[in-house]
């Protein structure tokens, strides 16, 4: 993980100050779904993923190759030169995902011209339903530069694990009406593709804008 100790501790401090309760709720939510992943013995547990992220001791991020809402293959290298704001969720999420994406969109608006250096990215954790066409309709509701990414379940899982994100599909109450439990952190990735830090669930647009603004400052 290309993240200095100072930045790691800073991210943890932000998380504890702004959203400790939200993180606890997210952890409880995904741990309750751990049984769904019992057969995935090779995958890290929800607790391992989250503790690795919060401690700053585990590597975060890595290369990926997915498909955007226009059907084009996209890799992590496509976003070099931009500060990436990355969020994992799904289009059928009833409230949390839309709220977080709206907060990211408002934060970009608050940044004004500085937002030109930022690329918002949404990665679905529900590739079964979130086709490129579905993503295109969904991301258009938020920010004009928001890119939605989908792919095979294997590729999505590999990307999610790299970013210490856990997700698990719940049993359907009716055909196609399942939900997906997932962690809801916002990840910040530098212009060089290296992980910078995270923001916890529930942060305000002002807080997101401030975190981005700090990381856009020249060193």
One pLDDT digit (tens) per residue for the chain, 219 residues = 333 333 333 434 444 443 443 444 444 444 444 444 444 557 899 999 999 999 999 999 999 999 999 999 999 999 999 999 999 999 999 999 999 999 999 999 999 999 999 999 999 999 999 999 999 999 999 999 999 999 999 999 999 999 999 999 998 777 778 999 999 999 999 999 999 999 999 999 999 999 999 999 876
pLDDT at res. 32? 44
Provide the pLDDT for residue 42.
Answer: 74
Within a 10 A sphere around the Cβ of 179, how many other Cβ atoms?
16
Report the predicted TM-score, pTM, of the whole model to 2 decimal places.
Answer: 0.82
Q: How far is the C-alpha of 157 from the C-alpha of 125, rounded, in Å?
A: 8
What lies within 8 Å, CB to CB, of 72 at 6+ separation is: none
C-alpha torsion sign, points 38, 157, 163, 176:
negative
Domain ranges across the chain = 5-216
pLDDT at position 5 is 33
Q: Using CA atoms, how far apart are residues 168 and 126, in angstroms rounded to an integer?
A: 9
pLDDT at position 41 is 52
Between the alpha carbon of residue 14 and those of residues 17, 123, 146, the distances in Å are 5, 23, 25
CB atoms within 10 A of CB 73: 11
pLDDT attached to residue 121: 98
CATH superfamily of 5-216: Glutaredoxin (3.40.30.10)
């Amino acid at each position: 993980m290309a993240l200095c100790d100072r930045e790691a501790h800073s991210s943890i401090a932000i998380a504890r100050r702004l959203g400790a309760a939200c993180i606890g709720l997210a952890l409880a939510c995904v741990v309750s779904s751990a049984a769904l992943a019992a057969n995935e013995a090779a995958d890290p547990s929800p607790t391992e993923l989250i503790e690795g992220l919060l401690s700053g001791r585990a590597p975060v991020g890595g290369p990926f190759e997915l498909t955007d809402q226009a059907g084009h293959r996209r890799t992590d290298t496509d976003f070099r030169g931009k500060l990436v704001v990355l969020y994992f969720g799904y289009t059928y999420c009833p409230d949390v995902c839309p709220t977080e994406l709206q907060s990211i969109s408002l934060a970009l608006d608050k940044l004004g011209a500085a937002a030109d250096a930022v690329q918002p990215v949404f990665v679905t954790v529900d590739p079964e339903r979130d086709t490129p066409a579905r993503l295109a309709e969904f991301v258009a509701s938020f920010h004009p530069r928001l890119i939605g990414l989908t792919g095979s379940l294997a590729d999505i899982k590999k990307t999610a694990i790299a970013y210490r994100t856990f997700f698990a599909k719940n049993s359907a109450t009716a055909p196609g009406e399942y939900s997906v439990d997932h962690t809801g952190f916002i990840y910040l990735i530098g212009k060089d593709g290296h992980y910078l830090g995270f923001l916890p669930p529930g942060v305000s647009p002002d807080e997101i804008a401030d975190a981005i603004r700090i990381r856009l400052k020249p060193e």
